[in-house]
Structure 1
Amino acid sequence: MMTLKEVQYLIKHIEQGTLEEKEDLRNEREKKDNIQRIVLKLIEEFGELAENIRKNTRFNGKNIKGTIEEEVFDVFYYTIAIANEYGIELEKVFEIKDKINQEKYEREFSLEEGRENYKKKIYKKSEY
């Protein structure tokens, strides 16, 4: 399983077209244009997701094309690409925002408690 940090790294390099580390030499206009491109792609993917939800088109284990699963991935991809453009570390933001939501929605458990519970269940299943 990949961490959010690893996913962000991968998408950054997919967008750059190389696994090599390279300095961002784009000017502000080029950065703005790229963000607009990504946002438009995100909106497009949301539309496709909505259509597939309406049709309840699910992945059948053979062809993912045109399914809810494919479109959820695409929305996730472009959301992360936007975070990358702004230098947002999603793991840090996730922890900060989760603490706010835990209090706001009076949730009984923290992110860390949920994570530990998940690990226990996974390890328990692998014992069989």
Structure 2
Amino acid sequence: MAENNKDMTLKEIQFLIKHIEKGSLKDIEDIRSEEEKKENSRRLVLKLIEEFGELAENIRKNLRYNGENIKGTIEEELFDIFYYIIAIANDYNIDLEEIFHIKDKINKEKYERSFSLEEARKEYEKNTK
């Protein structure tokens, strides 16, 4: 892991990607037309699909990051997929952290999981100290 990195929250990652996509850290008004917004959504989804294809190829070839060059690795493609999923969520003003909590409650019941998100968080904190 790179030096001086601290864990980021999902909200921080969404903020970062939102501003990367805008090209500025300033909160600038979105003045795109509805057609431009639709076209951007299409672009993001197509990029996501492209990255899934690249991930599949890299998994087939078992191309892993060795600490030197991340280009063309499973790790790079997973990052790219994560990026585009978050960019799509941002495009639709979806708070992924909020949705994660909502969907987790549904899935806990649906799959009869024996622990809650909060219990998992406590266990994670206990094991990472």
1:55 aligns with 2:61: yes
Correspondence 1:114-125 to 2 at 5 A? 114-123=120-129
TM-score normalised by the chain length of structure 1: 0.95
Structure 1 alignment gaps of length 5 or more? 124-128
Residue among 102, 113, 123 paired with 2:119: 113
Structure 2 matches for 1:1-128, cutoff 5 A? 1-123=7-129
Structure 1 stretches of 4+ with a deviation exceeding 4 A read none
Tell me how far 1:41 sits from its aligned partner.
0.5
Q: Under a length normalisation based on structure 2, what TM-score does the superposition of the two structures give? A: 0.94
3-state SS of the aligned residue for 2:128?
helix
SS in 2 for 1:23: coil
What's the RMSD between the two structures over aligned residues?
Answer: 0.5
Percent same amino acid at aligned positions?
Answer: 71
| Structure 2: segments with no counterpart, 5+ residues | 1-6
